[in-house]
Structure 1
C-alpha cells in the first residue's frame, strides 16, 4: 500500500500539506482534471491534481466540487499554484475543511507528471514488497513440506498471510484441521479439492478480499497440504497418527485397550497398563505442537490433540494417556515442563475407563491460567492433580463407585439425572420424563451457573444466551430439582451430583 504521507515526504516534489483528511489515506492512482464534476468517474483512493482552470478564486462552486470528490472517497486534492491561481483559493481550503478532504499545494516548478511518476513508483515498490512477502510465505510452506509440518500449522501460516479462515474437510464433512475462527464464520465457503477424487478439500472463508499474492499463497499452501496428506509423509508420521487416533479413542471411550495389541504386537500384554491417568497439557500453541512432535516410543506415544476451542487466543490443549506408575508419570510431567506446559493429571482409573479420568482432569482445567502471555516468560509450570486437589470429592467418589452414584444423582437431580429421568421430586408437576435434549440443555445451564459462582451475566455470556433466557432456565431447574440455586447447600448438592454422574457416564 502507498500512502499520501509517503508522497508528501518526497523532497524533490516540494509538496506542502494544507489540510489533513481523517487519516493517512491510501493512494490507488493519480488523476489530472480541470472538469467541474469528476466524481462519477473515480473508484476511490485517487490523488486528484488540478490548477482550477474552470473556477474563479472565490468561486462558490468550489464547495460542490469538493463535495463530489468527497463522495467518491478520493485520497487527496493536489492544487497547482502559479498557473491559473497564485495561491490556493480560500474557498477551496474552506470546502476541504468542511468535507475533511486532504489538500496539498504543488509549487509551479513541479509538473503534474512528476507527481504521477512518483506515485507510480510508490505503488510499484509496494507491489514488490507484497510479492517478496508472498514469496517468503511460500518458501516457509515449502520448507515445512520437506519436514513433517502439521496441517494445522500450514493452515495457520496461510491464515496469517491472507486474513482468511481455513479448514481441511473430508468427503463426509469430517473436519481434519481448521483455524480458530473458521467455525464462527457465517459467509459462503469456497472449496479447493486437494486430490483427484475430491476426498479432501480446503475450505476458505472470510471477509478480507484476496490480493493476487494471497491467491498465490493459497495455491502454494494447497500443494503443500496435498503432498503432505497424500504420500508425502513418512512412515513415522503415519505411525504417530495411528497412536494419536488410539489415544483419542481411549479418551473418548470408542476404543478399548485391546487395540494396543494391534498397534504394538511385539509388546507383551503384561506390559499393558492396568490403570491409567489422562493428563491435559496447556500452553502456547507452538510449545504444545513441539511437545506433540517430540521423539516418542512405547506407550509414551499415546498423545492426542484437543479438538475443542482454545480457552484463550494463542493457547492450545493436548492430552496424554499415561500408565499410573510413578516412573511413567514423572517422565510425562518432566516432558511437559521441558516445553513450558502446565499439566492437569486426572484420577487413576482402569484403562477401559479412561474417559472418566479425562473428565476429572477437564474439571480442573479452571485451575490453570487462561492468559497466553504468561506462558512466554521463563516460569515454573503448574501441575494440578485432580484427585489430590479435591480430597472431599474423591472420598465421595470412593463411596459411590459401586453404582450408588446413579441413585444419588436421581435423588438430587430428579428429572435432570441421566439415569432416572422419570424421577419427579414432589412439587415438580412433571408427569413425563424430560426429553434428552431438554435435560442436557438444563444440565449445561446448571453447570455454567455454578462454574461462574452464580453470576448470571458471565454464565449467560458463556452459554451465548440472553439473561432473560437464563432466568427462565434457572426457574425450570429450581422447580424440577426442588432446590434453590441461591442456597449454598443446594448448590453444593447439585454440583456434586453433576460431577459424580459425569464421572460415572
Structure 2
C-alpha cells in the first residue's frame, strides 16, 4: 500500500496538524524534501512532500506583496505534482502564514503544520523507512505472484490458468485477444462477460497493435480505469494481445506489478508455443496415419493413432474432402479438432464415423470450403472413397456440401470415367463380403438380379420363400444405403458384383 499524508498524521510523535486537505488525499508519497529555496521545483519530482521554514518568503524582494509571492510559490509546486507542503513553525516566524493556507487551498495542495520540536530529518527518515518497507513488501508480493503464475503454467490449465492467476494477483480483468482481434477469453473465468461488454476503445487499441505487426505495448485510460496492453509473439508473427483492465480509479502498474505482467506474458508465450507445437505434432501423426490407411497399411495407422490416444474409425464411415481454394489449411484443421484429417495434395481429407463426419462437414462449409462426402463401410479401400468424395467436392459450390451418392450423374458412370470401378466395388462390397451374414445377402442379390428382379423365380432358385428374399433385399438396402426399387441402383449393384467377380482369381 502507498504511504500517504494520512499515515504521517497518524504518527503521534510528529504532532502534525493538517491545515488544508489536498485534492488528492490518497496520493502516495515518494519522498519528503526539505528546502527553503524560492523555487525548488528544478530539484523536485511529483508526489513529494516539501518541508520548509518559510525563510524564502521573508527574503522576498522589498515591495513585493507576500500573498502574491506565496501564491506563485505554491502554484509552481502544484504544477509539477507536489502532494503538499509541511511548514515548520517557530523557526522564522510563529505559526503558519494565512497567505500560505489560502494558496494551498486555492491550488489543491495539502498543508501540514510542523511543530518546532519535530525535525524535518525525522520526517524524512520515517518516510524513507516506510517506503523501504513498502517496497520490500511489494517485491515479496511480486515474487509470490510470479511463483503462483509459474505453478499455473506448469499445470494442465495452460494459458487460461496463467491468465486466471494473473488476473487474481493484479485484482484486474485480463482479456486475451486472438490474431483476428476478437476476444478469445476473459479472466478470471469466474467473471467472464460477453465480448460485447468489452469497451470499443479497448478492442480498437488491441486491433491497432495487431495491425502494426510488431512486438509492442501501450496504456490508456478508459472511463477512469487504467488499461495496459502487451502483444504476444515476435514481430512478423503476432499471436494476440493481452489487456489488463484495472479497477476504476486505479493508477498505472508500479514496478513490481509490471515485472509480474512481464513474467506472465513470457509464460503465456511459452505455453502458447508449447500448445502450437503439440498441435503440429498431433496433426503430423494424423497425416501419417491417414496416408497409411490410403496405402492399405491399417496396422501402421493403428500404431500412429495410439500415440495420440485415438483409434481408427470403426464401422460405417464417411470420407469428407474439402477444396481449400480460398480456405487456409490451418483454419480448416483447427475447426476439426482431433478428428482424423490432413491436408493431402492441396485438399483437406477427413475420415470419421458417419455421425461425426455429418457434424464436422458443416464447419468446413462455414469457412467457405466446397465439400464433398462419400459413405462406405469401414476404412478398407479408402483411396476409392477419397476419389468419390473428391469428385463430389469438385461438383460442390463454395460453402456447400455435395454427397457422392446424390450427384445427378450416375455414380457408376463417374467411377468408370475415373477408372476406379474395381476400387469402388472393393470399397462398397468388400466389407460386406467379410461378414458371413452380409455375404449371404450379396449371394441372394446376385441370383435376384440374374433373374431380372423376379421375386418368385429368384426365390425358387435360392430355395427360400419370396417374402424371405424381400426381407433380405431390404436388409441389403439398409447396409448399402441404396434403394433397389430404382433401376440405377440395381444396375450399379450388378456392375459392382461383376467387378468383384472379375477381381476374384
The TM-score range, normalised by the shorter chain, is 0.3 to 0.5
The structure carrying a bigger helix percent of its residues is 2
TM-score by length of 2: 0.44
- Larger C-alpha radius of gyration, 1 or 2? 2
| TM-score, structure 1 normalization | 0.44
